[in-house]
Amino acid sequence: MNGTTLQVTIKGVYLIENAPGPVPIVLLEDDAKRMMPIYIGISEAISINSALNHEIPPRPMTHDLFVSLLSRLDSKVEDILIDELNEGVYYARISVSMGGKSFELDARPSDCIAIALRCGAPIRIRDSVLSEAVISKEELQNVIPLESYIS
């Protein structure tokens, strides 16, 4: 799939109040301050939030295990790319280099983000996906930081 890609930063992990209860999102932002939410599961929300806060759990979480395995295999996460939005579902891939070769792995965006944060790898998104999913700051008025919910 062709098209311009942009590097984004993770603004944070939040909860949006929906029926029957709060739903976690990870909020991405590009250099032009356009923001896009991705709805994620609670375990991925906690994992991303932990990585953002540089917290080290007493036992490795799944994303920590994945990063540790890559390290042991002398592999490196080059970047992640969120490259498709189809019927409300985002698709992403992790680019990995190992032994002079590169390959991609299909993965959920939330897993890609959690891994990229742990590796310090760039998080990229196809401009067409961001343009389709961008939301206004007014739409974010009812979000609460994940920390205030789990503290």
pLDDT computed for residue 19 by the predictor? 65
Q: In the chain, what are the domain boundaries?
A: 5-150
pLDDT score at 142: 81
The reported pLDDT for the residue numbered 119 is 96
Are 38 and 89 a contacting pair, CB within 8 Å?
no
For the entire predicted model, the pTM comes to 0.93
**Cβ atoms of residues 25 and 42 within 8 Å:** no
Confidence at residue 137, expressed as pLDDT on a 0 to 100 scale: 84
Contact between 5 and 82 (Cβ < 8 Å): no
Question: CATH number of 5-150: 3.40.50.300, 3.40.50.150, 3.10.690.10, 3.30.420.40?
Answer: 3.10.690.10
Structure confidence at residue 98 (pLDDT): 95
Low-confidence ranges of the chain (pLDDT < 70): 1-2, 19, 151
Judging by DSSP bridges, how do beta strands 5-17 and 22-29 pair with one another?
Answer: antiparallel
- Which phi and psi angles does 87 have, rounded to 5°? 55, 45
What phi-psi label fits residue 133: left (phi over 0), alpha (psi between -120 and 50 degrees) or beta?
A: alpha
pLDDT of res. 151? 61
48 contacts 116 by C-beta, under 8 angstroms: no
pLDDT in tens, 95-137: 999 999 999 999 999 999 999 999 999 999 999 999 999 998 8
Q: How far apart are CA 34 and CA 132, in angstroms?
A: 11
